[in-house]
């Protein structure tokens, strides 16, 4: 994985910009624009929250038309305001963002997708947004990917971008997210670009496979956003076409690698996080059960606070597995903190408490729970829950 490049502009034919239009204080970057020099095949996945922000509704409606899925040219994104729970006026504002972008770069409004992130329930400051879009269009550059990824940050402490270069094409992306991170779907905002040539239906197939192993396998706090969106744009500028099953499999593997990299960056930057936690469930009867157990453990406040405090409290882990909804059997379960086996056959082992404490003392913690019911497995990435998380979210709007 190559993170030394500029994310969404690493692939041929893409330019981007991040500008400050006054949505954030202190002249911070707050509006991003990503543009392809030619029409793109596009696929997207969106939050499954029943309360969906205006840009989510707008983008879903746009991508519902097959001819539009094959001709997307740009993505515009603002921070500071989610444009969620804003009614018809919010939908009009999302459409106005697309129209302003289309006029600025010279395409149709239905070739522009819109992203927003920030506080729920407030209207977009459209005069500032329009001015920002005009400025961003003038600043578009092959070197603009880093600024674009900074412009979509909210409580993020670092911008997130990733690049993978194959022999034939490049895939690059940017993402934002630090809180309200939980499956199902994408659990943040992300834009991924590629210069591979691929039909929209195959791109959608690859994206959904990649998401299941990446963004749907992370959780920070168990809260699902109203704005979660992941868009992939493919402009074919490399000249390499994904045209058969082997090509699709190889492209899906590459796309998955980029998605996993971005997803892990989100977890490592979780609000108030001090530890990156990998939870591996093995020996499950099926993958669905494995994922349910992993997510129950990942979302347990008691597990997460114990990890933050350096308390190797194995009881909280097995208890979370027990209420996951999966018919686990304690007598068949085995639990490890790192390489320390702490629980087997329904009882604690004769482990050294100092060893188990040491296993969760570092910045990266690995937990493995074998259910003893089959061969299926799942991995979920999460983080600890610290005092700072409460501080950040207790004053989010102030």
Q: Which CATH architecture has domain 7-268?
A: 4-Layer Sandwich (3.60)
Q: Write out pLDDT tens, residues 177-224.
A: 865 555 554 458 999 999 999 999 999 999 999 999 999 888 866 667
Q: Write out pLDDT tens, residues 247-300.
A: 999 999 999 999 999 999 998 887 778 999 999 999 999 999 999 999 999 999
* All residues at 6 or more sequence positions from 220 whose CB lies less than 8 Å from its CB, including other chains: 177, 178, 179, 180, 181, 182, 266, 267, 270, 271, 273, 382, 383
Assess whether 187 carries a catalytic annotation. yes
Q: Write out pLDDT tens, residues 34-43.
A: 999 999 999 9
Among residues 101, 117, 154, 187, the one annotated as catalytic is 187
Give the percent of the chain with pLDDT over 70. Answer: 93
* Averaged pLDDT for residues 124-131: 98
> Are 112 and 231 within 8 A, CB to CB?
no
User: How is 47-97 classified by DSSP, letter by letter?
Assistant: ---SS--HHHHHHHHHHTSHHHHT-EEEEEEE-SB---S-HHHHHHHHHHH
Mean pLDDT of the chain: 93
- Residue 396 pLDDT class (50, 70, 90 cuts): low
Q: Which CATH class is domain 276-394?
A: alpha beta
What was the pLDDT predicted at 52? 93
* Averaged pLDDT for residues 394-398: 62
pLDDT at 242 over 70: yes
Distance CA 366, CA 176 (A): 24
What was the pLDDT predicted at 4? 41
Distance CA 225, CA 45 (A): 13
The residue extents of the domains of the chain are 7-268, 276-394
What was the pLDDT predicted at 186? 45
């Amino acid at each position: 994985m190559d993170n030394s490049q500029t994310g969404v502009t690493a692939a041929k034919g893409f330019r981007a910009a991040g500008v400050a239009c006054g949505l954030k204080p202190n002249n911070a970057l707050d509006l991003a624009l990503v543009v392809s020099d030619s029409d793109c095949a596009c696929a997207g996945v969106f939050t499954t929250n029943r309360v969906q922000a205006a840009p989510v509704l707008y983008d879903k409606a746009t991508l519902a038309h097959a001819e539009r899925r094959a001709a997307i040219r740009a993505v515009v994104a603002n921070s500071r305001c989610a444009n969620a729970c804003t009614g018809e006026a919010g939908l009009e504002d999302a459409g106005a963002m697309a129209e302003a972008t289309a006029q600025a770069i010279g395409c149709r409004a239905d070739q522009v997708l819109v992203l927003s992130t920030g506080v729920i329930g407030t209207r977009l400051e459209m005069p500032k947004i329009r001015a920002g879009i005009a400025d961003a269009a003038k600043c578009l550059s092959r070197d603009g990917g880093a600024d674009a990824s900074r412009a979509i940050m909210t409580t993020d402490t670092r911008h997130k971008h990733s690049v993978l270069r194959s022999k034939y094409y490049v895939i690059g992306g940017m993402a934002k997210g630090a809180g309200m991170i939980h499956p199902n779907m994408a659990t943040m905002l992300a834009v991924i670009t590629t210069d591979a040539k691929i039909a929209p239906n195959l791109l959608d197939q690859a994206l959904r496979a990649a998401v299941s192993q990446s963004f749907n396998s992370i959780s920070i706090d168990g809260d699902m956003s109203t704005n979660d969106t992941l868009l992939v744009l493919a402009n074919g500028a490399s000249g390499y076409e994904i045209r058969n099953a082997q090509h699709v499999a190889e492209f899906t593997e590459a796309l998955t690698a980029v998605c996993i990299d971005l997803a892990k960056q989100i977890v490592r930057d979780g609000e108030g996080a001090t530890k990156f936690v990998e939870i591996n469930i093995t020996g499950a009867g099926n993958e669905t059960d494995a994922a349910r157990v992993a997510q129950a453990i990942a979302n347990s406040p008691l597990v997460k606070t114990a990890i933050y405090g350096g308390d190797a409290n194995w009881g909280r882990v097995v208890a979370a597995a027990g209420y996951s909804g999966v018919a686990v059997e304690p007598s068949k379960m085995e639990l490890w903190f790192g390489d320390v086996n702490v629980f087997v056959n329904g009882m604690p082992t004769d482990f050294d408490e100092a060893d188990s404490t040491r296993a969760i003392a570092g910045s990266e913690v690995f937990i493995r729970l074998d259910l003893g019911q089959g061969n299926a497995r799942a991995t979920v990435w999460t983080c600890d829950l610290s005092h700072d998380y409460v501080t950040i979210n207790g004053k989010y709007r102030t």
